[in-house]
Amino acid sequence: MAVRTANPTTGWLLRGADGRLTAYAPTAGGLARWTETRPGGPEWTGPELLTVPGLEPYLSLTQNAAGYVYLVGLRRRELDDGRTETDVVYATQFQSGRALTPWRSIGTPYGQDAQRADQIGVPTAVVDSVGLHVFVRNAGDGVCGRRQDTRGIWQAWTDMKGSHVLDELTAARTDAGRIELLAPAAEFVVRWRQEEAGGPLRRILNLPAKPMAGSSSSAPTGDDRITHFWRDATDSALHAHRSEGSASTGGEEGLDTPCPTVSGGTGSGPVAALRATVDGHGCTVLAQRAASGLPALAAYPADDEQADVFWSETGEECVGAPALALDAHGRVVLAALGSDGRLRVARQRMDEAGLALGAWDRV
């Protein structure tokens, strides 16, 4: 069965506690899900079509240390009086291939103000060492966030400030449970970070940039390092910033140092990033939708964003952003949705040097 959808984000391929990979894709009024039949594949079940009335075709996915997957989206429903109700909703998948929990609402920063609630951006989710965080661009083009406490109880929405923020935000968690949030804005990139796992998110220096809307991503690239990526609005070049040791400012005054360009990274949409070991060396693996429309794969030594990067195009034309994960055997897995709506998966060949992929499987 083909699914008519495209993933606007990169984190849609996740490995559960049992070692099986699951791929998720938003659809009109719900989502599609594919699951490996056993750890390491190659067979898959799906797509299963899960209906969620009113759900916008966008999902933010995040996973905690126990392997639980949180799916967060934006729901719009027409009420009997003709008004539209907008709220942020989430569900949890505790085990690979099992049913999701019911979708629960955490509202919006605007309570019963339906007009301003309808102006928020799509949500971004991340789990720290305490619980789930959800962030949205607010009606004033700043950022609001809501988080769970140690008991799993949701705290009130918080105005995190910021200005001229574009729609999509990105966030990531380090191995130690510390999170960072990035918000592309009109003339710079806004950032927040936890100085310690579970602590408060604090503003840090803006990054000078002209980011393209819908092009950012964030991923852990070291034990306590997160790298943020985005495309330049003028030429689509891919930029990277590895965040470590930035001092908190408590406001948006001042700019950090300019960010390096990743060579050969011209493409569309966000880039997927993954920590992996290639030929015994720690690397950052990247995947993007190339200008040709094909998935493209690259790798560079960890912490060397300015290294010469060779991109290898592979497979067939895809739609939306590709995704990366490590399977149960430690192989790099590249996944993409074909223009025919079918899931395609390629795995690293362990019998060859370098980052060589085997044949693509069409699910």
Count of residues in the chain = 363
pLDDT for 242 beyond 50: yes
Give the pLDDT of residue 29. 85
CA 254 to CA 208: how far, in whole Å? 9
- Tell me the per-residue pLDDT of 130-172, one tens digit each, with 9 for 90 and over: 999 999 999 999 999 999 999 999 999 999 999 999 988 999 9
In the DSSP assignment, the letter for residue 133 is E
User: What does the pLDDT average to over 192-218?
Assistant: 93
Counting DSSP H helices and E strands in the chain, the numbers are: 1, 27
CA 108 to CA 120: how far, in whole Å? 8
- Tell me the per-residue pLDDT of 328-351, one tens digit each, with 9 for 90 and over: 999 999 999 998 889 999 999 998
CA 362 to CA 26: how far, in whole Å? 19
| Nearest alpha carbon to residue 66 among 11, 137, 18 | 18
Average pLDDT, the chain: 91
CA 284 to CA 219: how far, in whole Å? 10
- pLDDT higher for 257 or 342? 342
Give the pLDDT of residue 253. 45
Whole-model pTM over 0.75: yes
| Nearest alpha carbon to residue 228 among 266, 49, 238, 236 | 238
Give the pLDDT of residue 3. 61
Give the pLDDT of residue 2. 56
- Tell me the per-residue pLDDT of 65-115, one tens digit each, with 9 for 90 and over: 999 999 999 999 987 777 889 999 999 999 999 999 999 999 999 998 999
Give the pLDDT of residue 10. 94
Contact 25, 5 (CB under 8 A): yes
CA 238 to CA 131: how far, in whole Å? 31
Give the pLDDT of residue 354. 87
